[in-house]
Structure 1
Amino acid sequence: MLCARHHVGDQPFAVLLGDDLIDARETLLSRMFQVRERYAGGVAALMEVGPEQIHLCGCARPDLGPEFTG
């Protein structure tokens, strides 16, 4: 996502993956932008999956603090 900075500057943006299907009635994206506007910083939508499905998904490390720079 840091690569997007060159293209969008300080404007908010969303990264949507092609294998994520979102119902048009779902308001998740607009709610995420509201959270970003209220608190600043990045916002990520995550979904918990069981150990038997983790190989099918990406994996987040929420235990990494702000000192993590990639």
Structure 2
Amino acid sequence: MPHVNIKYFPVPLSGEQESALVATVTEAVQNAFGCDGGIVSIALEPVPAEEWDLRVYQPEIVERAHLLRKTPNY
């Protein structure tokens, strides 16, 4: 606990960019939940643009809108 899954259109991330992203998200989760960073897990999941609606938008944004705390602006 807690687990964060970041889905995004595939873009190349350098090792440095990926490490910075993971560190920033880990710190935010630690601050919000008051937990140790060692129990935080983070997944980075590239999703091709042509699959976004089926794999992400419909099941996770539309069907789970009640869980969203930030919505996309499109």
Coarse TM-score class (shorter-chain normalised) = 0.3 to 0.5
Give TM-score scaled by structure 1 length.
0.34
- Greater RCO (Cα-Cα under 8 Å, separation 6 or more): 2
Q: 1 or 2, which has the higher helix percentage?
A: 2
**Which has more strand, going by share of residues?**
2
